[in-house]
Amino acid sequence: MAIIDLLYQKLARPIFFRFDPETMHEWVMGCLRWARPVKPVLRSYFRIDDPRLAQEIWGLHFANPIGLAGGFDKNALLPDFWDAFGFAFFEIGTVTPLPQPGNPKPRLFRYPADQALVNRMGFNNDGCEAIARRLDESAARRGGPTAVVGVSLGKQKDTPADDLARVIRDYQTSLEALYPHAGFFVVNVSSPNTPNLRDLQEAGPLRQLLSALKERLASLDSPAKPLCLKLSPDLGDDAVRQAVDVALACGIDGFIATNTTNQTGSRESGGLSGKPLRPRSTEVIRLIARQTGGALPIIGCGGIFTAEDAIEKLQAGAWLLQLYTSFVYEGPAVVRNLLRGILELMDRQNLSHVRDWRP
């Protein structure tokens, strides 16, 4: 075990886990903001650059297949920092038009025995205008992020899911505000923590929402920036196929599989992430890949802790991967360790590129 891993797992993590998870998360984010002067040192240690890992997707350069999932830096507090830990891309948000506090605290819970988290955050964020200003400041200060930026879009909590005109306006407002900064957009209709949000995965509302967003994107630039749909792991297989069919008919550019699950068992209510989510998220990736013939990018998310976990999702049809829970449990070297493991397995199987695992 490398010294960084040892220090995190034996010293730092036990201390961190003594405190409330959300409080600890905010404290760590604050510390990282002060760590910007040592970013080159961190980057030299944690980052692995190898052409066998790089891909061009949607006309964007991804230095490796691993990104930071939405919710970790939802307010874009550190947009120019995540590449120092090896992430090739990161997803901010979920963003709503206006600031909102989210659900009452406590709303984030650890389950170390399961290597899992449960959250019921409720789209707490600073609102699209404040986040856009923050990204403007980052661009002016340091030339902007060096990793690809994904922006997750959601509706205001008090916008009724059955008022589609207001729902569409919510998504479009954030899209327009953050358009200059996004490499790609994510339509989040699958969080379990906003009342009735998942109703938008049904065929009728989903078709109207995606069509409206694709039309708005087309009016903003040419070619339009890519739009991805994030699906719930709690959809049945037939419902996944139906959602994919609707998305394809609307000209969707990619998928994220999956969001968190509300199947929490005896744990707190909310969205469960981490190892228990791994099997179902991989199944959903496989369903989407078969439905699309492997022609559209899929970002696999859910329970990726080891190189074997990552390859399982790549073999199921994922083009890219996202981490959240394993970053919390495994620490700052998780991307480096995963990429090293992927490269070692590529060597053993005589593969020349990470995309060779796709079915």
Assign 3-class secondary structure to the chain: CCHHHHHHHHHHHHHHCCCCHHHHHHHHHHHHHHCHHHHHHHHHHHCCCCHHHCEEECCEEECCCEEECCCCCCCCCCCCCHHHHCCCEEEEEEECCCCECCCCCCCEEEEHHHCEEEECCCCCECCHHHHHHHHHHHHHHHCCCCCEEEEEECCCCCCCCCCHHHHHHHHHHHHHHHHHHCCEEEEECCCCCCCCHHHHHCHHHHHHHHHHHHHHHHHHCCCCCCEEEEECCCCCHHHHHHHHHHHHHCCCCEEEECCCECCCCCCCCCEEEEHHHHHHHHHHHHHHHHHHCCCCCEEEECCCCCHHHHHHHHHHCCCEEEECHHHHHHCCCHHHHHHHHHHHHHHHCCCCCHHHHCC
Is 232 catalytic? The answer is no
Give the angle subtended at the CA of 73 by the CAs of 70 and 76, to the nearest 5°: 115
pLDDT at position 13 is: 95
Domains and CATH numbers, the chain: 3-350 (3.20.20.70)
**Distance from C-alpha of 1 to C-alpha of 332, rounded to nearest angstrom:** 14
Q: Are 185 and 172 in contact (CB under 8 A)?
A: no
Partnered with residue 60 across adjacent β-strands are: 57
pLDDT at position 181 is: 93
User: pTM of this prediction?
Assistant: 0.96
pLDDT at position 219 is: 93
Nearest to 247 by CA among 316, 197, 318, 297: 297
pLDDT at position 110 is: 98
CA-derived radius of gyration, the chain = 19
Q: What are phi and psi of 250, to 5 degrees?
A: -90, 0
Cα dihedral across residues 39, 85, 76, 268: positive or negative: negative
Options 138, 152, 191, 326, the catalytic residue: 191
What residues of the chain score a pLDDT lower than 50?
none
Structure tokens at 110: 């650890």
**Digit-coded pLDDT (tens) for 294-314:** 999 999 999 999 999 999 999
pLDDT at position 145 is: 65
